[in-house]
Each structure stands twice: as C-alpha cells, then as structure tokens.
Amino acid sequence: MTHEYIDLQTVGHVQGAVRLPGSKSISNRILLLSALSQGDVAIVDLLASDDTAVMLAALRSLGVQWTEEKTATGTIHHVKGVAGVLPNKSADLFMGNAGTAIRPLTAALAVIGGDYTLHGVPRMHERPIGDLVDALNAAGTNVEYTGNPGFPPLHIKQGKIHAQRLSVRGDVSSQFLTALLMVAPLMAREHAITIDVIGELISKPYIEITLNLIRRFGVTVGQNGWESFTIEPGQVYQSPGTIHVEGDASSASYFLAAGAIAGGPVRVEGVGKDSIQGDVRFAAALEQMGVQITMGDNWIEARSNGVLKAIDADFNHIPDAAMTIAIAALYADGTSTLRNIASWRVKETDRIAAMATELRKVGAIVEEGADYIKVTPPAVITPATIDTYDDHRMAMCFSLVSLDGAARKGNVMRINDPKCVGKTFPEYFAAFAAIAK
C-alpha cells in the first residue's frame, strides 16, 4: 500500500480554462484499428497515460511498428497497419488494468489466432471477460482461462471461425460488444457476420464511439436498433490517413463540476457540441442541477447560479462521468439519486461501495443499492483523508470536495495515492490547481 498523498486546501472560487488530454476510449480504439488497417495512420493528440502505454506496448510485442513524433503543437503517433495479419504469432502481453485495451485485443487475437497470453494487475483478474470469451469461443476461437473461469489471465490459441452469428450479453459491459464489432470485419471474410445483443445494452454512447470510429476506417456496420449489428463480407479497415483524438469528455466532468460548485466560469477545451463521446451529456445533467452551461464546437463552459438542485436520474448512459455527479450532490439542496449504475461494481474498483464509503467520511448520508446510490449532503463538509482504491476516477472526483471553502477556510482534504490518476490524466492535479488559485 502506498503512503503517498496530496493535501488540497479548501478553495472558495475557481475559474479558468483547461486543455483536456485525449480521450482514453477513443485513443485505444484508434490504436487497434490503426494496427489492423491497410496503410499507415498518423494519430494526432493520442492520450499519454498508463492505459494507452499498455496498448502501445502490446502492439509492439505483436510486431506492429509505431513511432512517436513531437511537434510544436503536440504529438503525432505514426502506426504502420498490418492489414489484419500480425507479424508475431506468439506474445506474452501485460495489460495493466486497462479494460479498453484487454477486451478488444482479446477479440482481435482470438480471431487472428496464434499463441498469446494476456494478464494484468490483480484487479484486472477480478474484472469479468467471460461474456466476450463465450461469444468468441462459440464462434470457433480457442480462448482458455489460466486462472478463474470468466476472468483474465487468458491463453489464446489458433481457432477456426465457423459462425455467421454471434451473441453477447449487453448488460455487464459495453466493451464486450465494442470488441466484437471491432473484429467483425476480420471474421466476415466470406460471409456476413451478425452480432446479436442479449438483454439491455448499457453504456450505449460508448458503442456509438466504436461505430463512429469503425466508419472512419472505411467499414460500414448495419444496425437493427440496439438489438443486432451486421458486417457484410469483404470489408477491410483502410487508413484514414490522419485522425485526431478528441479531448476526454469523462475528464472534462471534473472541471465542469468545479465551475458548477465554486462559481466559475471554467472552460474545457478539446470537446464540444460535435463530440462523438456520450460523456458530453454530463453537461446536461449539470444543467438539470441548475448550472449555466455554454458550448462551442470545441469547448464547454460551466458557471454556478448558486446552490445546486438535487437530481434524481438514470445514469446508465454515462457511468464514468456520473461519479462526478455523486460529488456535486454534496453541494445540492436535498437528496440526489443516481440510478441504473450497476456497471460501477465491475470497474477499476467497486465504485458504488467505494463512493459510499468515502462520501460518508466527509459527512454525507449515503444509501447504496445493487445499482443505485443516494446522497444526502451534510450541513458542513468534514475534512477527511480519502482513499482512492487505485482508481483514477475516485482521486479526481474527490479533489472537488476541497471546493466551496467559504465556511471552512484552512481545512485540508487529503487524497491518498494521487498518482493513480496516471491511468488517464497524469497532469490532473496540476490542471486542477491552475483553476483553483
């Protein structure tokens, strides 16, 4: 257990602008699509974080060549596509705790075939992957569990795809469907491939990101609502030449919430009204809480109109950004309820349990259920030492509890293990300090 921490002084007002790091969801999808395509791809503004480093290292181990070019305005990653044929037929891949890396990569390696092992940190070995593996193996791949059935670590061998229809559960993680959609063109060599979704599909905006990027790489996907998806045969991923990574809309939530809680205006740059990320809908949730939101093509701004209104809403569509709403609820005029968030329980940590535990430390009354959390704010927020559970979003969320310091100047919030933000936003605390001067 690390004993590192950061102490945040309470702050009464925030304002400023923050340039967002690249989206993790978009970055790791683009990396894999680029590797699988015909031709070379230049990726502008790829996120530099633990999760993308894991994907880049895995691609290199698989024989995919890439280089990083520093420019005056940022970075460009040049990836040489392998047209669906990996140079290295065997590799041992460490996937950290990156769900956006291990799930699509598992599907790609299973369909391509070879001799591959995938493993990660202990928490990764507790995060489910069984629904994806079941769908793949039913279609003819050969994926084995080398630890607990249903979870990594995995051993992938050569299989033979024979199915023209696959089915996958949609109610545990949308990443299973994302993984199958991304590799479907590799399976649809001679026959169309249809993927059926069993049950309710959660986190639909993340599937929209996947479909949008697949189209950018030249493959069309037929869609029957959210029930099934069909890829016609003979389609091959083609390099789009240059592709830009949007700013991370999930990371935007902390700064927009800061503006909502402590005055503002706070502007995030890198996402706007044309974003392909569902988490920009976080801004609409803040509007429901009485926050003034303005949007441009590539920016969003939040400013406070006084005390926040309590919210009772379904957050299935934005599970990651919804965590920030649970913190904003500390500053609301009553009890807020976040519903339909069962997926929190299988993320980097059990986020419902973790959020409830830490919110209680600062004085909130919290009720947690299998798929919901209710937060009643305290009269005065109590300074506390916050544990982060090796979860980047817990650390970033609870930085916000240092805001609105009018009643408690000189109080300190301590965040344990602040370095866990490296998973998506290594410079987070510096960016937060810049608006909280």
Residue 15 to residue 7: CA distance in whole angstroms: 20
**Residue 306 CB burial class (10 angstroms; 0-12, 13-18, ≥19):** exposed
- pLDDT above 70 for 2: no
Q: Are residues 183 and 95 in the same domain?
A: yes
Is there a single domain that holds both residue 34 and residue 101?
Answer: yes
| Cβ-proximal residues to 71 (8 Å cutoff; 6+ apart), any chain | none
According to DSSP, residue 357 is labeled H
- Comparing C-alpha atoms, which of 261, 213, 204 is closest to residue 404? 261
Residue 333 has pLDDT above 70, yes or no: yes
Where does the pLDDT of residue 1 fall: very low under 50, low under 70, confident under 90, or very high at 90 and above?
very low
- Residue with the larger pLDDT of the pair 234 and 404: 234
For residue 234, how far is the Cα from the chain centroid? Answer: 31
CA distance 299 to 62: 37
Say if residue 357 is in the same domain as residue 430.
yes
> Residue 332 maps to which CATH number?
3.65.10.10
> What residues make up the domain containing 379?
5-21+247-435
Regarding whether 240 and 146 lie in a shared domain, the answer is yes
- The answer on 88 and 62 residing in a single domain is yes
What one-letter code names the amino acid at 340?
N
Query: Which parts of 194-318 fold into alpha helices (H)?
Result: 204-216, 249-261, 282-288
**Domain final position from 244, 269, 292:** 244
What value does the mean pLDDT take over residues 38-60? 97
Clarify whether residues 406 and 341 are in a common domain.
yes
Is pLDDT at 3 greater than 70 in this prediction? no
Check whether residue 360 and residue 219 sit in a common domain.
Answer: no
Please state, in angstroms and rounded to a whole number, the distance separating the CA atoms of residues 110 and 103: 11
- Give yes or no: residues 286 and 182 share one domain: no
* Together in a domain, 89 and 157: yes
* pLDDT of residue 33 exceeding 90: yes
Q: How many Cα atoms occupy the beta-carbon half-sphere of 53 within 13 Å?
A: 10
pLDDT digits (tens, 9 = 90+) for 79-102: 999 999 999 999 999 999 999 999
CB 226 within 8 A of CB 200: no
Cite the DSSP H helix spans in 62-150. 99-112, 130-138
Examine the pLDDT at 360 and tell me if it is beyond 70: yes
Same domain, 210 and 316: no
Catalytic residues: 320
Structure tokens at 354: 């973790």
Q: What is the pLDDT of residue 299?
A: 97
Copy the structure tokens of residue 194. Answer: 């249809």
Same domain, 287 and 191: no
Is residue 405 scored above 90 in pLDDT?
no
Three-state DSSP at 34 gives helix
CB 405 within 8 A of CB 383: no
**Which of 178, 209, 244 corresponds to the end of one domain?**
244
For residues 225 and 279, membership in a common domain is answered with no
Number of structural domains the chain divides into? 2
409 pLDDT more than 80: no
Which of 244, 265, 296 corresponds to the end of one domain? Answer: 244
